[in-house]
Amino acid sequence: MKISPARAAAFDALCRVERDAAFATDALDSRLEALEKRADSALATELTLGVLRWQRLLDFFLSRFTKQRLDSLDAEVLLALRLAIYQLRFLSRVPDAAAVNDSVELVKRARKSSAAALVNAVLRRAARDPCIRRPAEALLPPELAAAERFGILYSHPTWLVERWLSRYGEEATRRLLEANNRPPRLTAAVLDPERVAELRVALANAGFHVAPGRCLSFALEFRGLPRGGIQRLRDELRAGRMILQDEASQMIPLLADAQPGQRVLDLCAAPGGKTARLSCCVGQGTVVGADLHLHRLRQTRELLSRLGITNVSLLALDATRPLPFAVCFDRVLLDAPCSGTGTLARNPEIRWRLKPGDLSALAAKQRALLCHGLAYLAPGGRLVYSTCSLEPEENHQVVAAALAESRGARILGGQAALMPHLLPRIEAAALFDALGYFQTLPGRDATDGFFAAVIEVPPSR
C-alpha cells in the first residue's frame, strides 16, 4: 500500500529524533523539502510536533489498548502507534482507517513486519473505543497527585510539573503547560527599523499575512503561510531582509544597550541572530562572536554574510576556560547553553530528554562562562547573562554565585534599554521581576521563556 507522504515524512522525522537525538525542527526540515504539496507539509509538521508534545498522553491511551509494556516495544513500532493514536484523538478530519493503515505500513517499511499484526490490532481496538476521544481527566484515578495528573493531562514529565507547581502555583502552571502544547508564534526581527513598513507591504504583496509584533516595533508576526509559503519564506530570509526569531529572544541583545563605536563580545554567538543585532547597534564598532562549535560558527558566518554584516569577527573557543583576549570589552553578551525549558513549545523533544540531574551540570558550566565573561568586561561596562530556561539553578543562582566572586559587580535594571523599542502598549517594568531580572513566560507573554540579568562593573576596579 502507498503511504501518505506526510505520514512518512513525520515518521522519518520522529525516528531521527529518537535515534539520533536530533532536534525535531532540524529532522523535520530535511523531510519537508521533499514534499511538493502545502497540505502535506502542514500535516507532516502537525504530526511530528504533535506526537512529541503529547507523547505522555498518547502513551497513557496506548496502555489501555495493549497489555505489552510500551518500553518493551521497538522504537519504530512505538512511534508508529503514537502517530496513529495522535490522529485518532486530535485530528477529526483524518479518517481512522487512513491513520491505522498507514501506521501498519510504516512498521513494515521500517523492517519490523513481525509487529505489523500487533500494531493493526491495537489501533483497530483504539479506533473502536469511544474513550479515545473522551476527556482524559475522566479516565484518571481521583486520588492522583496534582503533579502526576497535570503531567498526564498536559503531557509533561512529573518532575518538571512539580517544580513549576511549587514556584508558580496551580493556575499559572496550567497556563504554562497549555502554552507549551500550542504551536509557537512565527515571528521575525527586521534589522533596519526604518524598513519595517516597506517590508510588511512587500510580504503582503507576496501573499503573506503579516501583522506587527506584539512587543517590539521592529518585529513581524506571520499568521499562516501562502501556497509554497515555506520555500518563499526561505527566499525572503536569503534576501537578507529579516531573521526568524522569537520576540523575547529579540529583546536580549537590546538589554546590552550597545552604543556606536563600542567593542562587544558575544560569548556564545551561534546561530547569530543576537550577534547581528549587536552589530547593528555598534555601527563602526566591532563585535567578536565566539562559540565552541565550528559547524555552528559556519552557520553564523552564513547568516552574517547574507545580512551584509562585516564588523563581526568569529572565533572558536571554549569559554568555560580563561579567555585568550588581550583587551576588555565595553559590552559582553552571554546567551548561555541551558536546559531550554522556556522553549518547550518550539522544541517539544526537550521535555523528554532533560533529567533533574542535568540542571546542576548545566549550572556549573554557566557559572564558569559568566565568571570568564565578567573578567573581560571593561570598567563601567555591561554584561547581559541570558538563558531560555525557567529554572532558578540556571538563572538567579548562577548570577548570585558569579556576583559573589566579582568584586563590585551589580545588577542593573534593563527597562531603559528596552523602552525605545517596545510598542506603546507594553510596559517595560512588566518584563522584569522584583529583583530586576528580565523574565518572560510562555503562558503569560506569548513568547518563549527567557531570563536575563544585566550586570555592570564599577568604572574603576
Domain boundary among 76, 109, 139: 139
**Residue 410 and residue 452 in contact, taking contact as beta carbons nearer than 8 Å:** no
Nearest residue to 23 via CA among 13, 33, 31: 13
Q: Which stretch of DSSP H or E encloses residue 461?
A: none
Is 338 noted as a catalytic residue in this protein? no
For residue 97, give the CATH number of its domain: 1.10.940.10
Residue 225, pLDDT score: 72
- List the domain range (segments joined by +) for residue 449: 247-456
Judge if 290 and 211 occupy the same domain: no
Is 37 among the domain residues?
A: yes
As for how many domains the chain has, the answer is: 4
Distance from chain centroid for Cα 331: 25
Candidate list 15, 215, 281, 388, residue with the active-site label: 388
pTM summary value = 0.94
Question: Which of 240, 204, 238 has its CA nearest to residue 221?
Answer: 204
pLDDT at 33: 76
Same structural domain, 104 and 193: no
Contact partners, residue 380, CB within 8 Å, separation at least 6: 456, 457, 458, 459
**410 in Cβ contact with 455 (< 8 Å):** yes
CB 301, CB 275: distance < 8 Å: no
Residue 198, domain CATH:
3.30.70
The three-state secondary structure class of 79 is helix
Residue 256 lies in a domain: yes
Does residue 285 share a domain with residue 229?
no
As averages over each run of 10 residues, the pLDDT of the chain (461 residues) reads: 92 96 91 79 94 98 95 97 98 95 97 97 97 94 96 98 97 98 95 90 88 95 74 71 94 98 97 96 96 95 94 96 95 98 98 97 97 95 98 98 90 94 95 96 96 91 51
Looking at the structure, do residues 419 and 451 belong to the same domain, yes or no? Answer: yes
- 175 lies in the same domain as 191: no
